[in-house]
Amino acid sequence: MGIKYNNTILPLAKQLRKEMTKEERHLWFDFLRYYSVRFLRQKVIGNYIADFYCAKAKLIVELDGSQHYEDENIKKDKQRTDFFTTHGILVVRIPNTEVNCNFSGVCEYIDSIVNERLALLNPSSL
């Protein structure tokens, strides 16, 4: 059974898809959109909106701008991560600066995490 989601935040998720940050656009259009394992962007899960979600790997990729390093947002991010973790979803946080300065490394990192998760969750399918 899937995680119930808060449909009142669906309009916000749609808006965020239209107004992606520069780093989100770069990662989506230049890597995740055509990645071999399907990712969704701005996916509503529970009361939260994940930047990028891969259901098959039970993986969320979050891109973090500078606001994520402020005390209040660190606490909120921990709550989000704790929620996802209790549902068996791994959250990977990547600073925007890495997307801007080391894009190929970010792509390789995501690819390695996806492959690890797939092997862990579906060992007989490899």
User: What are the tens digits of pLDDT across the range 48-107?
Assistant: 999 999 999 999 999 987 564 556 767 888 999 999 999 999 999 999 999 999 999 999
Q: What whole-number distance in Å separates Cα of residue 42 and Cα of residue 17?
A: 6
Element of type H or E holding 53: strand 48-54
From 16, 15, 30, 99, select the one nearest 65 (Cα to Cα). Answer: 99
Mean pLDDT of the chain, nearest integer: 89
Per-residue pLDDT, 1:
44
Name the residue ranges covered by the structural domains of the chain.
Answer: 10-121
Fold of 10-121: Endonuclease; Chain A (3.40.960)
Three-class SS of 4-25: CECHHHHHHHHHHHHCCCHHHH
